[in-house]
Amino acid sequence: MIRSVESAPHVSAPVLAAYSYCEAVTGQQARNFAYGIRLLPAPKRRAMSALYAFSRRVDDIGDGALTDDVKFARLQETRSLLTRIREDAVGEDDTDPVGVALAHAARHFPIPLDGLDELIDGVLMDVRGETYETWDDLKAYCRCVAGAIGRLSLGVFGTEPGARGAERAPEYADTLGLALQLTNILRDVREDAVGGRTYLPADDLAKFGCSAGFGGPNPPEGSDFVGLVHFEVRRARALFAEGYQLLPMLDRRSGACVAAMAGIYRRLLDRIERDPEAVLRGRVSLPGREKAYVAVRGLSGLDARHVTRRVVRRRA
């Protein structure tokens, strides 16, 4: 069982200011994520915003216009900050609000900070321009940049006392992260191509005649782009189905947070499946009212109860 520890009732003004900074970053740059974590009690919401702000910093370095040498140096700086946090060497008077907030969160929740090292490793793969021949290759990358975030988040959420199968919670959290990342890859396929990146496995692209890439608003001539997208959608759905087994292991509000975030991405996946070529024309997204509906559904526990019934039937 993974237990979370709520932060102390009193949080100092410098730490609250650091958390406020992280929450502002989260609200401005991660609307899907922000919809989920607003369902959490304040200590967990703050800790999740600190995790996001650190992760956003790492991602921004990898995605920015800096030279590769500067990116490598900046990523090493973030790893050094992480080492200081791990050694409890970041005080409340530190000038880096993300470091202050994450250090406080790590003192009050059993966050597996090695997951942030994995995230840095994954972004280094981006900087080096790595491509992926097979799904197993891509899966290793996704575990660094998304599966690790699932496991880090579980450190904040914790599992319910006596939850059946809780020893597998990190595995399910990791798998749910993979599902979200594969959905992201499908949504951003054109944007990534314009930036010179290809994430979908080369053998999948070849199988569906899409090895020429996605530099324009139309699929490669003679390709089965729709078949490719539907193939990847099925893979993502299988990952969601496995990862959703985490939900019954969480308390109501943590489960609602996960269900909301995952539900938004599952609906994105539905839209992509209905109109695969939409990802070549622009960014597929959900309107705010639909995200709100998903959040309410998560808070109601409908998704968790559905998963529980399915797992019970499977074990019967």
Domain ranges, ordered by start, for the chain: 13-110, 131-315
The whole-number average pLDDT for the span 18-45 is 86
The CA-based angle 282-285-288, given to 5 degrees, is 145
Percentage of the chain beyond pLDDT 90 is: 75
Token pair for 226: 């729709």
Q: For residue 87, which amino acid is it?
A: E
Which of helix, strand or coil describes residue 191? helix
Same CATH fold, 131-315 and 13-110?
Answer: yes
The whole-number average pLDDT for the span 287-307 is 64
Nearby residues of 276 by Cβ (< 8 Å), 6 or more positions away: 225, 226, 228, 229, 230
Residue 27: what pLDDT? 87
Residue 177: what pLDDT? 96
The top-level CATH class assigned to 131-315 is: mainly alpha
Residue 315: what pLDDT? 45
Token pair for 179: 């599902």
pLDDT at 307 over 50: no
Confidence of residue 311 (pLDDT cuts 50, 70, 90): very low
pLDDT tens readout for residues 183-233:
999 999 999 998 889 999 999 999 999 999 898 889 999 999 999 999 999
CA nearest to 122, candidates 145, 102, 153:
145
Residue 110: what pLDDT? 96
Q: What integer best gives the mean pLDDT of the chain? A: 89
This prediction's pTM: 0.88
pLDDT at 66 over 50: yes
Which phi and psi angles does 288 have, rounded to 5°? -55, -40
* Longest alpha-carbon distance in the chain: 63
Residue 291: what pLDDT? 72
194 contacts 215 by C-beta, under 8 angstroms: yes
119: left (phi over 0), alpha (psi -120 to 50) or beta: alpha
The top-level CATH class assigned to 13-110 is: mainly alpha
CA nearest to 269, candidates 296, 228, 238, 237:
237
